[in-house]
Chain A
Amino acid sequence: MNRRDFLATASAAALLAPLAPRLAHATMAGEITEPVTISFYDYNLASAGLGKEATEKLIAGFMKAHPLIKVDAIAAQSNEILSRVQADLVAGDQPDLAQLVFRDLIYIARDLGAEALEDLAGEELAEHARGMAPKGLDLGKVDGKTYGLAFTFSTPVLFINADLFRAAGLDPENPPRTWDEVRAAGKAIHEKTGKGGFFPGAYGPIDGTFVYQAIAMSNGGMVREGNKLTFADDGAADAVVMLREAMDEGSHARIDPASHMDTFQAGELGMFLFTSAVMSRFEKSTAGKFEMRLAKMPSFGDKPTAPTNSGSALFLLSKDPVKQRAAWELMKYLTSKEAYTIITSEIGYLPLRLDIIDDPKYLKGYVEAHPMLQPNLEQLQNLTPNVAFPGPNYRQVENMMKDAVVEAVFGHGDPRAVLKAAQDQAQPLMPSS
């Protein structure tokens, strides 16, 4: 049994039961007057050398600032964390706060019992949100309310192997800005160096839905409109057709989608579109091997790009008024200026608070020392929320869409027909109203 089976099983088992029936709404306590312990599921803690140390530092800082609150931090991988939370709910052990990924947003809001922060914190939320990127706050909204407070997130950027660019007679100082330019550069790299041209990390098994959605939405497409699936409709389908044409002409590398990051780090790929969260890791692994550059994600001609978000939000799940207050205090701390200074400089995610970028007290020095952050920060102007799927079958629907995109790009059939067939098959799994 592989991990995916485990997750599917755990999810299915948990989905069968109503996990968190809506309880009568309790009012969050005004303050903490006695010692309280809250549980906090976090996936950065499960990555040694990447997020564990920074997250431990954040939690220690919080507990020092709030001596009455003890945080029981539980580490779980990002693709397993929802199942772990579900298992605890089924076992009657209500988690208080959890870092969960955006793709599960609607399920978490409607079925897992996450609290809407407007209902819980009211004015405190508005006050805390001052200084945050408004588009960043939108990432965690369902039906107009904030269920997830965006926490660690990033957008797709184009990683470039400058050495391969030069070897192919291209100028890495002028990276491709449009998909046409990416294809031309990819073709040149492939023909002159024998290496892969470009590859978007838009396919599984590593979650690449946000990259696929960013490409589709940059071409005016949408994966769904309400409960109607639209990933086979013109804008989204045209984007996939473009990738297929690139594959057929040789500019799109034909590599195992499971090893795209390794292929780029090995110096075998000219361009790689993927989350900026891997930047610090790539910087280390490519040092002394080849020169890496970063560029904004490519556009379709003059159309504006739609960089979507990967990453996570914080969801308050507690039903106990005192624990709700403790969890809310932790949420505020983890999304404070001080916390984002650590999150950006030590993990590599984007800061949700843009006012700290130019502030010498916070990120100014770091941003100046790391110019590669710039394309990512510029893209925040166009940040477009990743579209999660609704209903109990949301994971199946998303998987069917992902599989269809892979088949359309890597296969030999008509890509539009492949997408249409998958869309028709998946539509009955969507909620009817």
Chain B
Amino acid sequence: MTNRPRQLPVHAMMIVLSVLALFPVYWMIVTALKPETEIFSTALWPKAPSLENFGYVLEAIPMLRILWNTALMASATAAAQVLTGLLAAYALVRWPFPGVKLAQAVIGLSWLVPFQVTMIPNYVLATELGLRDTIAGLVIPNAAAAFAVIVFYNAMRSFPKEVIEAARMDGAGASRILWQIVAPNMRPALAALTVLAFISAWNEYFWPLLLTRHIENAVVQIGLEMFMSQEGNQWGPMMAAATLASLPILALYLVLHRQIIDSFMRSGLK
């Protein structure tokens, strides 16, 4: 009780920061509800709010199909990155070999290779393999991520070796040790990385831009671009599409927000 006056400035600051963080989301939704003649109005609420822009988006592009494609692509990418990262980190920690440091360094360095460098070679390969315009083509080049390997490697290194040794002496094989002992104890890192990989894949733009040839096979960032052009942007429909695109991520967050915050705090990820 005695601390309450001192906490007031802190709370005031937090309220201001929350408003700053939430206002763009609010403005996106309000703009989506505005008719075309009010798009450039700075009023905080439209005079005649309507769902017209949402209807237009659903009519102009196959938005539901696009959202499904994106969910599929983001889920598959996140799952693949977690799986490959976990296996690679386990191998590096469990069976150190001469040059393991070099292997780690190379994996770490590959994280620094910009997308521009691999973009064209990947595109050529995807073309040869017939992966253009497919969800598989969007997922496979991103199925392994150096960041995932590094996160899991560091998490596994701090896992007590004695537990692994005890399991081994009890006759557990490498696979059983990974899936029944190590992985369940790495839940925070696994959850945090899954969420990060999912969001990152959901927001992916350049690779889908290059690979997608038809709108029905597109992901959401390409769908949003359909309302932008050199001849001007259609702000109302674009904000409606952006709102629809944000809903799955928002729903995921609302359902899992405690676990997500927990995961980030416990795994030390920000």
Contact = CB atoms under 8 A, between A and B. Distances in A.
A binds B: yes
B229 A46 contact: yes
Interface string B46-62: 00000000001000110
B204 interface: no
Interface in A5-54: 5-6, 9-10, 13-14, 43, 46-50, 52
B116 A265 contact: no
B155 to A, nearest CB: 29
Given A80-B209, A87-B210, A266 B229 contact: no
A65 interface: no
Interface of B: 36-37, 39-40, 56, 60-61, 114-116, 119-120, 123-124, 127-128, 206, 209-210, 213-215, 225-234, 237
B124 A265 contact: no
Contact of A9 (B116, B228, B230, B233): B116
A275 B229 CA distance: 13
B234 to A, nearest CB: 6
B237 A281 contact: no
Contacts of A288: 37
A90 B210 CA distance: 13
Interface string A76-98: 01111000100110111100000
Contact of B215 (A75, A287, A289): A75
Contacts of B128: 91-92
Contacts of A261: 232
Given A90-B120, A261-B232, A277-B231, 11 more contacts: A1-B115, A6-B209, A13-B119, A47-B226, A49-B234, A77-B225, A91-B124, A91-B127, A207-B230, A267-B40, A278-B232
Interface string A278-300: 10010011111100000000000
Given A1-B116, A93-B127, A48 B226 contact: yes
Interface in A362-383: none
Contacts of B119: 9-10, 13
A14 B40 contact: no
A281 B37 contact: no
Contacts of B124: 90-92
20 contacts: A1-B115, A1-B116, A1-B206, A10-B210, A46-B229, A48-B60, A48-B227, A50-B229, A52-B60, A52-B226, A74-B213, A75-B214, A78-B229, A79-B230, A87-B210, A91-B123, A92-B128, A93-B127, A275-B231, A286-B37
Contacts of B120: 10, 13-14, 87, 90
Nearest to B225: A77
A13 B210 contact: no
A392 B233 CA distance: 31
A75 B228 CA distance: 13
B36 A285 contact: yes
Nearest to A279: B231
B116 A281 contact: no
A284 B36 contact: yes
A355 interface: no
B138 to A, nearest CB: 15
Interface string A240-278: 000000000000000000000110011100000001011
Contacts of B36: 284-285, 287
Interface of A: 1, 5-6, 9-10, 13-14, 43, 46-50, 52, 72, 74-75, 77-80, 84, 87-88, 90-93, 206-207, 261-262, 265-267, 275, 277-278, 281, 284-289
Contacts of B114: 1
Nearest to A206: B230
Nearest to A86: B120
| Closest 9 pairs (CB-CB, A-B) | A266-B40, A91-B127, A48-B60, A9-B116, A48-B226, A47-B229, A91-B124, A13-B120, A261-B232
Contacts of A48: 60-61, 226-227, 234, 237
Nearest to B226: A48
Nearest to A74: B213
| A6, A14, A78, A207 — most chain B CB neighbours (10 Å) | A6
B229 A285 contact: no
Contact of B37 (A1, A46, A287): A287
A14 B206 CA distance: 16
A275 B233 CA distance: 15
Contacts of A206: 230
Nearest to A8: B116
Contacts of A75: 213-215
A12 to B, nearest CB: 9
A385 to B, nearest CB: 19
B116 A13 contact: yes
Contacts of B123: 87, 90-91
A88 B210 CA distance: 10
A47 B61 contact: no
B234 A262 contact: no
Contacts of B214: 74-75
B226 A262 contact: no
